[in-house]
Structure 1
Amino acid sequence: MRPSSRRRRPVAPDTPVSRRRVPMRLLLPVLLLTALVAMLMLRGYVHSEILADHRIRPEAASDKVPEEIIDGGPVIDTRNGGTGSLKVPDHRLVLTFDDGPDPKWTPQVLDVLKKHHAHAVFFITGTMASRHPDLVKRMVDEGHEIGLHTFSHPDLSYQSTKRIDWELTQNQLALGGAAGIRTSLFRPPYSSFADAMDNKSWPVTRYIGSRGYITVVNDTDSEDWRKPGVDEIIRRATPHGGKGAIVLMHDSGGDRHQTVQALDRFLPALKAEGYSFDNLTEALGAPSAHTAVTGLDLWKGVAWIFLVRASEGVTGVLVAGLAVVGTLVIGRFLLMLVLSAAHARRVRRRGFTWGPDAPVTEPVSVLVPAYNEAKCIENTVRSLMTSNHPIEIIVIDDGSTDGTARLVEAMGLPGVRVVRQLNAGKPAALNRGIANARYDLIVMMDGDTVFEPATVGELVQPFADPAVGAVAGNAKVGNKDTLIGAWQHIEYVMGFNLDRRMYDVLRCMPTIPGAVGAFRRSALERVGGMSDDTLAEDTDITMALHRDGWKVVYAEKARAWTEAPESVQQLWSQRYRWSYGTMQAIWKHRRAVVEKGPSGRFGRVGLPLVSLFMVLAPLLAPLIDVFLLYGVVFGPTGKTLVAWLGVLAVQAVCAAYAFRLDRERMTHLLSLPLQQVLYRQLMYVVLLQSWITALTGGRLRWQKLRRTGVVGAPGAGGHTLTDRSPAV
Structure 2
Amino acid sequence: MSTVATTDSPPHHGAKSPKSKSPKTRPTQRPPSSRILLRPRLFLIVVVTLVFVVVLLVQGYVNAVGKAGTGHPAGAYDRVPDAIRNGGSMIDATHSPARSYAVPAKTVALTFDDGPDPQWTPQILATLRKYHVHATFFAVGARVLKDPGLVQQAHADGNEIGIHTFSHPDLTQLSPADRQDQLSRTQLAIAGATGTTSALLRPPYSSSASALDNDDWSVVQDVGRHGYLTVLTDRDSLDWERPGVSKIIRNATPDNTDGAIILMHDAGGDRSETVQALNKLIPALQSRGYAFRTVTEALAAATGVSVADEKKRTDAPASAVDHWRGWGLSLAARIADGIVATLLVLLGIVGVLVVIRLVLMMIIAWRHARKRHRPGWNWGPPTTDPVSVIVPAYNEKEGIAQTLQSLAASAHPEIEVIVIDDGSTDGTAQIARALALPDVRVVSIPNGGKANALNHGLELARHDLVVMLDGDTVFEAATIGRLIRPFADPKVGAVAGNVKVANRARMVARWQHVEYVIGFNIDRRMYDVLQCMPTVPGACGAFRRSALVEVGGMSDDTLAEDTDLTMALCRAGWQVVYEETARGWTEAPTSVGQLWRQRYRWSYGTMQAMWKHRRAIVERGASGRFGRLGLLGLALFQVVLPVFAPLIDILAVDGLVFFNPVTTAVGWVAMLALQFVGAILAFRLDREKFGPLWALPLQQFVYRQLMYAIIIQSIVTALAGTRLRWHKLRRFGAAVAPSSTR
Give TM-score scaled by structure 2 length: 0.90
After TM superposition, give the deviation of residue 38 of structure 1 in Å. Answer: 4.4
Is 1:298 equivalent to 2:313 in the alignment? no
Secondary structure (helix, strand or coil) at the match of 2:377 reads coil
Deviation of 1:713 (Å): 6.1
For the Cα contact (< 8 Å) 2:382–2:485, is it kept in 1?
A: yes
CA pair 337-235 structure 1, distance change in 2 beyond 3 A: closer
Distance (whole Å) between structure 2 residues aligned to residue 45 and residue 151 of structure 1? 10
Residue 37 of structure 1: CA displacement? Answer: 4.5
1:573-606 Cα distance to aligned partner (Å, 9 max, x none) = 1112111211111111111112222212212222
Amino acid at match of 2:48: L
Change (3 A) 1:637 1:405: same
Distance in 2 (alpha carbons) for counterparts of 1:516 and 1:573? 21
Q: Which shifted more, 65-74 or 311-320? A: 65-74
For residues 640-679 of structure 1, the aligned pairs below 5 Å read 640-679=664-703
Higher alpha-carbon deviation: 77-86 or 381-390: 77-86
Displacement, 1:19? 7.2
Q: Which residue of 2 aligns with 1:23?
A: 39
CA distance in 2, matches of 1:524, 1:228: 78
Residue in structure 1 matching 2:375, options 350, 358, 370? 350
Q: Distance in 1 between matches of 2:241 and 2:625?
A: 64
For residues 413 and 573 of structure 1, the distance between their equivalents in structure 2, rounded to whole angstroms, comes to: 33
Q: 2:55 aligns with which of 19, 36, 39?
A: 39
Partner of 2:605: 581
How far 1:511 sits from its partner (Å)? 0.2
Once residues 322 and 285 of structure 2 are traced to their aligned partners in structure 1, the CA distance between those partners, rounded to angstroms, is 41
Q: Does 1:387 align with 2:393?
A: no
C-alpha spacing 1:11/1:306, structure 2 compared with 1 (3 Å) = farther
Question: C-alpha distance in 1, partners of 2:335/2:715?
Answer: 23
Matched position secondary structure for 1:555: strand
2:480 to 452, 456, 459: 456
Q: CA deviation at 1:41?
A: 4.4
Q: 1:311 is matched with which residue: 336, 345, 356? A: 336
Secondary structure at the aligned position of 2:276 is classed as helix
Residue in structure 1 matched with residue 434 of structure 2 by the alignment: 410
Contact 1:328 1:617 (8 Å CA) reproduced: no
After superposition, the CA RMSD in angstroms is: 2.3
- 2: CA distance, partners of 1:19 / 1:560: 32
Cα distance, 1:618 vs structure 2: 3.3
Q: CA deviation at 1:542?
A: 0.5
Deviations 1:268-319 (A, max 9, x none): 2222333222222233122252233344323322222122212222222222
Which of 631, 635, 646 matches 1:607?
Answer: 631
In structure 2, the CA distance between the partners of 1:510 and 1:61, relative to structure 1 (3 Å rule), is: same
Looking at structure 2, the residues matched to 220 and 714 of structure 1 have their Cα atoms a distance apart, in angstroms, of: 81
Contact 1:508 1:606 (8 Å CA) reproduced: yes
* Residue equivalent to 2:591: 567
Aligned to 1:621, what secondary structure does the other structure show?
helix
Matched with 1:547 is 571
- The residue that corresponds to 2:218 in the other structure is 203
Q: Residue 431 of structure 1 contacts residue 530 of structure 1 at CA under 8 Å; is this kept in 2?
A: yes
Deviations 1:644-666 (A, max 9, x none): 22222222222112111111111
Amino acid of the residue matched to residue 576 of structure 1? Y
Stretch moving more, 577-586 or 114-123: 577-586
- Which has the higher mean CA deviation after the structures are superposed, 518-527 or 46-55? 46-55
- One-letter identity of the residue aligned with 1:396: I
Name the SS for the 2:723 alignment partner.
coil
In the alignment, the residues of structure 2 paired with residue 499 and residue 445 of structure 1 have an alpha-carbon distance, to the nearest angstrom, of: 21
Q: 2:534 aligns with which of 510, 524, 536?
A: 510
Secondary structure in structure 2 of the residue aligned to 1:200: helix
Which residue in 2 is equivalent to 1:697?
721
Contact 1:46/1:127 (8 A) holds in 2: yes
Change (3 A) 1:581 1:132: same
Matches of residues 48-127 of structure 1 in structure 2 within 5 Å? 48-52=64-68, 54-55=70-71, 57-62=73-78, 64-127=79-142
Secondary structure of the corresponding residue to residue 582 of structure 2: strand
Q: How does 1:438-457 map to 2 (within 5 A)?
A: 438-457=462-481
TM-aligned CA deviation for residue 9 of structure 1: 6.0
1:723 corresponding residue in structure 2? none
Name 2:420's counterpart in structure 1: 396
Shift of 1:714: 6.7
**Partner Cα separation in structure 1 for residue 293 and residue 99 of structure 2:** 22
SS of structure 1 residue aligned to 2:418? strand
Q: Is the 8 A contact 2:94 2:227 kept in 1?
A: yes
Contact 1:185 1:216 in 2 (8 A): yes
Once residues 211 and 347 of structure 1 are traced to their aligned partners in structure 2, the CA distance between those partners, rounded to angstroms, is 79
Alpha-carbon contact 2:74-2:213 (below 8 Å) kept:
no
Q: Distance in 2 between matches of 1:296 and 1:375?
A: 68
Aligned equivalents of 1:85 and 1:309: distance in 2?
Answer: 39
Distance between the aligned counterparts of 2:738 and 2:443, measured in 1?
Answer: 25
Amino acid at match of 1:68: A
Distance in 1, matches of 2:321 and 2:405, equals: 75
Q: Which runs of 5+ in 1 are unaligned?
A: 1-7, 720-728
Secondary structure, aligned partner of 2:410: coil
How far 1:498 moved relative to its partner? 2.1
CA contact (8 A) 1:328 1:613 kept: no
Counterpart in 2 of 1:422? 446
State the distance in 2 between where 1:10 and 1:688 align. 25
Which AA in structure 2 matches 1:382?
Q
Greater alpha carbon shift after TM alignment, 682-691 vs 286-295: 286-295
Q: 1:639 to 1:226 in 2, by over 3 A?
A: closer
Pick from 273, 289, 296: which aligns with 1:258? 273
Q: Which runs of 5+ in 2 are unaligned?
A: 1-23, 301-306
TM-score, normalised via structure 1 length: 0.92
Provide the residue aligned with 1:725 in structure 2. none
Residue 637 of structure 1 deviates from its aligned partner by 3.0
Structure 2 Cα separation of the partners of residues 647 and 397 of structure 1: 47
**Distance 1:332-1:231 versus aligned 2 partners, 3 A rule:** closer
Aligned partners of 1:364 and 1:443 also within 8 Å: yes
Q: Which residue of 2 aligns with 1:154?
A: 169
Question: Secondary structure of 1:525's match?
Answer: helix
- Structure 1, residues 328-362: CA drift from partner, whole Å, max 9, x if none? 2222222222222222223223333324xx32212
- Partner Cα distance (1:655, 1:163) in 2: 48
Question: In structure 2, do the counterparts of structure 1 residues 675 and 56 end up closer, same or farther at CA, with 3 Å as the change threshold?
Answer: closer
**Which residue identity is paired with 1:442?**
V
The one-letter code sitting in structure 2 at the alignment partner of 1:543 is: M
Amino acid at match of 2:293: D
The answer to whether structure 1 residue 371 and structure 2 residue 394 are counterparts is yes
* Equivalent of 1:145 in 160, 177, 181: 160
Query: Are the equivalent residues in 1 in contact too, given 2:418–2:441 (CA < 8 A)?
Result: yes
Deviation at 1:453, TM superposition (A): 1.0
Q: Shift of residue 28 of structure 1?
A: 4.0
Q: Distance in 1 between matches of 2:737 and 2:144?
A: 69
Q: How many residues align?
A: 704
Between stretches 480-489 and 279-288, larger displacement belongs to 279-288
Structure 2 CA distance for aligned equivalents of residues 542 and 56 of structure 1:
68
